[in-house]
Amino acid sequence: MTNHDAVVEHWISERMSHIESSGIRKVFELAKSIKDPINLSIGQPDFDVPEPVKKAAKDAIDAGRNTYTLTQGIPELRQQLLQMVEAKFPGSNRDLIVTSGTSGALVLALCCVVDPGDEVIIFDPYFVMYPHLVSLAGGKSVFIDTYPDFEIDIAKVEKAITKKTKVILFNNPANPTGKTYSHDTVKALADLASKHGVLLISDEIYSAFHYDGLLQTPADYNPNVLVLDGFSKSYGMTGWRMGYAHGPAKLIQEMIKLQQFTFVCAPSMVQYAGITALNQDMSGFMREYKLKRDFLLNGIKDYYDIPSAGGAFYLFPKAPGGNSSAFVEKAIQLDLLIIPGKTFSSVDSNFRVSFAAKQQTLERGIEVLQKLAKSFK
C-alpha cells in the first residue's frame, strides 16, 4: 500500500467495513465479457417502459418541469397514490411520501427509526440490500433462517424479539426466493409486531407479480405497518428511481423531514410520468410473467429441488452438490449467468435464476440447467 493509499484508507469510515460490493453487480460486469451470455441473473423486467409514460416524461422535460418538487412528492401524484391506498385500506388515515426508489424509502425509514445498537429482524434468504442498510443506520441485523421451504416460523420470530428490537423487515413477494406468504403467516406477523410494539416494514415492490391467489399484506391487520412499493418492477422503470411509502402519519412526516436533507425529492419529470403510469394497464405483462414462471419451472423441476415460488420473477433452486458458488462457476463456463445463494444468505446452498427474460433466453437457460444437473448425477 502506498502512502497515498494509506491516507485514503484512513478516511474510510468503520461502517463501510460492514458493507460489501453486491454479488449481483459483479455478475453484471461479468456479462460484459461474455459474447452471447444466457443472462438469467437480471432483477428487472424484460419489457420496456410503456410509450405513454415515456412521452409524459419527455413532455414534462419540455414543459420545464425540471426543478425541485415538494419533498413529499408533487400533489397530483400523491393524490392518486393516496386514493389507491385509501381504496385498499379504507378509513386508515395513512400518510404517503414519494421517494427516490423503494430503496430510498427503506433508507429513510431505517434512518428514522433505528438507533445505534437497535436490532432489525431479517428473514434469511433476504434481498441483498437489507443488512447493509441496517448497518448504515447503525443497527444490528438479526437473521431468522427460513430454509428449506422459506416459510416463516412465527415462534422463531417471537423468540428473536428483545428489548433492542426495533424493526421486522418483511418482503412479499420475496426476492430472491419468489415466495409469497399465506394469510395466516402474514396476519400472525402483523399481530406479533403489534403485540411487541415493533415496526413492521413490508417491502411490496413485487406486489404486481403474484401468480397464485390473492397477495396478502400485513397492513390489512396492523395499521402501523409501513408499506414500501414503487414503479420500477411494475412499469419497467428500474432506472427512473421512483418509489413510495405509506404508513403512520408521524413516521411519514419524519421521513419527509429526512428526505429534505438527503434525496431532496424524487426526479421531477419521473413524478409527472408516474401519473400516466398509474393509468396504464399492465395486466398483460403480469399474465405473461406467470407463463414465464411456469415455463421455467416445468423445464427444470425434474432436475432440481425448487421450493414454491408464487411471485416476483425468480426461482431459488437448491444447487446440486449443495454448493451454489461452485455450481454457478460451472454455469458461467457454459455462458449461463445466475446468482449464487451466498449473495442473499448466510447459506450457500441455493441459486437465484430469473425468468425476466425473452423466450429464447429462457429456452437456452433451461437447456444448460438440465445439462448441468445431469453432470452431477
Nearest CA to 88 out of 168, 182, 202 is that of: 202
CATH number for 67-277: choose from 3.40.50.970, 3.40.50.300, 3.40.640.10, 3.30.43.10.
3.40.640.10
- Is residue 343 pLDDT above 90, yes or no? yes
pLDDT band at 34 (very low <50, low <70, confident <90, very high): confident
3-49+282-375 and 67-277, same CATH topology: no
Q: Which residues, including other chains, have CB under 8 Å from residue 118's CB and lie 6 or more apart?
A: 138, 139, 140, 164, 165, 166, 167
pLDDT in tens, 247-262: 999 999 999 999 999 9
Nearest CA to 225 out of 89, 75, 80 is that of: 89
pLDDT band at 225 (very low <50, low <70, confident <90, very high): very high
Q: Please give the pLDDT value at position 28.
A: 65
- Is residue 22 pLDDT above 90, yes or no? no
The helix/strand/coil state of 360 is helix
pLDDT band at 219 (very low <50, low <70, confident <90, very high): very high
pLDDT in tens, 56-71: 999 999 999 999 999 9
Annotated domain spans of the chain: 3-49+282-375, 67-277
User: What angle (nearest 5°) sits at the alpha carbon of residue 116, between those of residues 266 and 218?
Assistant: 60
User: What is the overall mean pLDDT for the chain?
Assistant: 94
In sign, the C-alpha dihedral spanning 311, 313, 318, 320 is positive
pLDDT in tens, 290-338: 999 999 999 999 999 999 899 999 999 999 999 999 999 999 999 999 9
- Is residue 19 pLDDT above 70, yes or no? yes
Residue 377 has a CB neighbour count (10 Å cut-off) of: 6
- Is residue 25 pLDDT above 70, yes or no? no
- Is residue 143 pLDDT above 90, yes or no? yes
Q: Which residues, including other chains, have CB under 8 Å from residue 66's CB and lie 6 or more apart?
A: 60, 268, 269
CATH number for 3-49+282-375: choose from 3.20.20.70, 3.40.50.1370, 3.10.20.310, 3.90.1150.10.
3.90.1150.10
Q: Please give the pLDDT value at position 243.
A: 98
- How much is the average pLDDT of 204-220? 94
Q: Please give the pLDDT value at position 110.
A: 98
Quickly list H helices, 63-126. 75-88, 101-113
Kindly state the helix (H) or strand (E) to which residue 323 belongs, with its residue range.
none
| pTM score, whole prediction | 0.94
